[in-house]
Amino acid sequence: MVTWQTAASTGSTSSPSEARNAPRAERGSPERLAGAIRVGISGWRYASWRGRFYPRGLPQRRELEHASSVFDSIELNGSFYSLQRPEHYDRWRSETPSDFVFSVKGSRYITHMLKLRRVEPALGNFFASGMANLRSKLGPFLWQLPPNLKFDPERIDAFLSLLPHDTRAASALARRHDERVAGRAETAFGANRRLRHAIEARHPSFVAPEFIALLRSHGVAFVVADTGDKWLEYEDVTADFVYIRLHGPKKLYASGYSRAALEHWAQRIRLWSRGLAPRDARVISGAAAPRAKTRDLYCYFDNTDKHHAPGDALALMRMLRTSLPR
């Protein structure tokens, strides 16, 4: 198991902040460009990390500042449990470096309670809750579906059709919020920028080529997940970026990754970032993926119950330094 301490001894003598800020090496293959690769963690406030990843005595209010000095992206999961407030997003933006990016996890009220039905008001509330204050640090959205939600093509298509693919559309959706965020809504997203979405499906009925075709038609990424064989583990590429969630190779959320396992993911990430695909990729659909010269990569470690995630993420970052573009 790679923990924070053992990951730091995988061949680099630099500190976490030096590892993050060091100049990136030239891409490994001179004939192909590579997309941007961001490796990070899912959330940042965990008691078991204190005194291990976080220096002993570090105030909790400075934990995001510390985590973002090591990683250039974090999966923001508080937005999954409840509607956050504009001042929260504003504070998170101010506490992170200028090149930092948050992935924002979609509301479980939409995915788990409404189960993607009649979600227009809830989507309006979600996009009005303050994420506009992240500005340029607003990255992709993750929509995690519950394990008991079966694949319904019409329902999935209707939901995907509602998702905004730029901030102008997100602003318009946010203005349709209801009284739940009245008086604290933030609907101004600033200059128009593109938005990305990824879906993590967990019911076996989603192992259907029609689902992959729907994602590709809407430009939404299929989440490549490592779940210890509990849920879907496929590698279909459906968008111009790839979104990876590593929940733990054996015990969900609690087991760490060996060096060999991390090398496995590093090799795949290098290929996907260059617009290629692993020859042994396990896919749902035999149809060709959308063509791309490069693809951006977002990879988040969600094995957070212990203290594995930061060390595993840092070890993977070090493995990828030779393939990341400057």
Give, in order, the Cα–Cα distances in Å from 123 to each of 114, 137, 175, 289.
11, 20, 10, 29
Q: Is 305 part of a structural domain of the chain?
A: yes
* pLDDT recorded at residue 14: 36
Q: Average pLDDT of the chain?
A: 89
Amino acid at 166: D
The pLDDT value given to residue 321: 80
pTM, whole model, 2 decimals?
0.89
Residue 214 forms beta bridges with which residues?
A: none
Confidence of residue 79 (pLDDT cuts 50, 70, 90): very high
In tens, the pLDDT along 7-64 reads 333 333 333 333 343 333 333 344 568 899 999 999 999 999 999 999 999 999 999 9
> Considering the domain boundaries, does residue 67 fall inside one?
yes
pLDDT at 9: 34
- What is the pLDDT, as a whole number, of residue 252? 80
* pLDDT (0 to 100) of residue 95: 97
3-class secondary structure, 296: strand
Are the beta carbons of 130 and 85 closer than 8 angstroms?
yes
Q: What is the pLDDT of residues 91-116, one digit of tens each?
A: 999 999 999 999 999 999 999 999 99
Provide the domain limits for residue 60. 4-320
Share of the chain above pLDDT 90, in %: 82
Taking the C-alpha atoms of residue 302 and residue 240, their distance in angstroms, rounded to an integer, is: 23
Model pLDDT for residues 128-140, shown as the tens digit of each residue = 999 999 999 999 9
> What domain count does the chain have?
1
Could you tell me if residue 325 is inside a domain? no
CATH number at residue 240: 3.20.20.410
Write the CB contacts of 163 (distance below 8 Å, at least 6 apart in sequence). Answer: 141, 197, 218, 220
Do the domain assignments include residue 326? no
pLDDT digits (tens, 9 = 90+) for 252-261: 888 899 999 9
Q: Quick one: pLDDT at residue 307?
A: 83
